[in-house]
Amino acid sequence: MSKKSFIFYIFITVIVFSTISVKSQEIALSLSGAIEKALENNYGIIISKSQAEISSVNNNWGQTGLLPTVGFNVSSSNNQELINNTTSNFVNGGVGLNWTIFNGFRVKITKDNLEKLEQLAKGYSAVVVENTIQNVIIAYYNILLQKERLEVLKNVMDLSKDRYDYEMIRFEVGGSVTYNVLLAKNIYLEDKASFLNQEVILRTAVRSLNFLLGEEASAVWIFNEEFASDITEYVFGDLLDKMIAGNQTLKNQYVNLLMQKNEIELQKSSLYPRLSLSAGIDNSYSWIKPEGIPTTSTEALTPYGNLSLNYDIYTGGARKRAMDIAKISEGITQIETDEMKHSLTNQLFNEYDIYNLRKTLLDVANESLEAAEMNLQIADEKFKSGAINSFNYRDIQLSYLNSALNQLQSVYNLIYSNTTLTRLTGGFLGENIQ
């Protein structure tokens, strides 16, 4: 390959990879798209679904003892008697069936428990899905928050750069002193450092979202959702009804309570007799050859079928103790259920109050930002006209910065509260995410 051809090849390669890189950066990612990716690729969701699948496989009548077991065995014995020089061989084989016909309704109760275990595994998977959806929403809007913060810091940095350039021009024509120039430069560099630090925070936020989505850390997106929160008027009574009916953690606890009730019935089954059937056919063959005598052989084919009835008359009170323990455990589970319901109700109360507070704080933050923006515009004109000094201007600039960042944080806080209320009331699995 000639030198010119090599250079041309390198040039084309760079162009192609640059085009691919640009295209990858132009991929739009909406909130619903992010949630869809997480539902497909999130590690926790994949694991929880696999665990639910295991419970589904175990939910089978074969696990309950309803079906008989069939076995096959063959054995061979070979002997050599040295004194009489007698050789013998015995071969035994058979096929047997064992079946527990009745075991105190244990089969039915066990199958019901297996179904509830499958339901519980799916319920735990649903909790993982809910938490993942909430985490994706929070991570997505956190990125939008950091982008908005970056924009605010850039505006402040640009204002500081304009002020620094303004002081330099004044200094060159003799209208300013070195102190003012250095002060403007230090302020500009301080704002630039804040801007650069915010860029790192934004990239970290994107990588956190990529982890939730199961994407490579280097994946880049265009986040096209608006950074705004819906101002929904909630009625606490409605939220409470939704939570009692739809909270997935509470649903799982109800299943635990039903399984504990089944445990009592399972212990009661030991009070019944057990009826079992064993049937099969055995085949045996033997031959013996003493020295000097013709070989003799025998063969037997023996079918059999046996029923057995077993009942434990006295077990030292073990069965009664087991039932008493099961009843106490049921009472504990009931108390845990009541405690969970009470705890979730308290949490709902708190989140409801926080949500309403944050709505009010957002209104205050919006008004404060509006006043700070107007004050900054006036201060810029006054500073250039000499009506205020550098310190006054910087104070007003910092006031605008704080108001802008506070307004953005207020929007994010309201989104967070709204998301928490939705999760507590089971809204993520009961509605389509748009």
301-323 residue pLDDT tens: 889 899 999 988 888 888 899 99
User: What DSSP state is assigned to residue 289?
Assistant: E
> In whole angstroms, what is the distance from residue 135 CA to residue 39 CA?
12
CA distance 319 to 303: 37
Task: Say if 90 falls within a structural domain.
Answer: no
Q: Does a structural domain hold residue 290? A: no
**In the chain, how many domains are there?**
1
Q: In what order do the strands lie in the sheet with 86-102?
A: 69-81, 86-102, 274-289, 296-310
Q: Long-range pairs for 176-184 at CB < 8 Å and ≥24 separation?
A: 180/390, 183/390, 184/160, 184/390
> Would 7 be classed as within a structural domain?
yes
- What per-residue confidence (pLDDT) applies to 283? 87
Under DSSP, is residue 219 helix (H, G, I), strand (E, B) or coil?
Answer: coil
Cβ(377)–Cβ(339) under 8 Å? Answer: no
Q: Is the dihedral of CA 346, 351, 352, 358 positive or negative?
A: positive
**H or E element that contains 184:** helix 178-213
Q: Does residue 55 fall inside a structural domain?
A: yes
Counting as low any pLDDT under 70, the low residues of the chain are: 1-26, 83, 430-434
Structural domain for 222, as ranges: 3-65+103-273+311-430
Q: Which residues pair with 70 in a beta bridge?
A: 97
Query: Could you give the residue ranges of the DSSP H alpha helices within 214-316?
Result: 236-246, 248-268
Tell me: the pLDDT tens digits for 266-284?
888 888 899 999 999 988 8
d(CA 114, CA 227): 46
User: H or E segment at 415?
Assistant: helix 390-424
Q: Distance between CA 115 and CA 189 in Å, rounded?
A: 65
Residue 274, strand partner residues: 310
Tell whether 315 is covered by a domain.
yes
Helix axis angle, 248-268 relative to 106-172, nearest 10°? 160
Residue 237 maps to a domain? yes
pLDDT of residue 23: 45
For position 113, which CATH number holds?
1.20.1600.10
- Which stretches within 284-389 are classed as H helix? 318-385
What pTM did the predictor assign? 0.83
pLDDT, residue 430, reads 65
The answer to whether position 77 is within a domain reads no
pLDDT of 249 reads 93
Residue 208 to residue 225: CA distance in whole angstroms? 18
Q: Note the pLDDT of residue 229.
A: 87
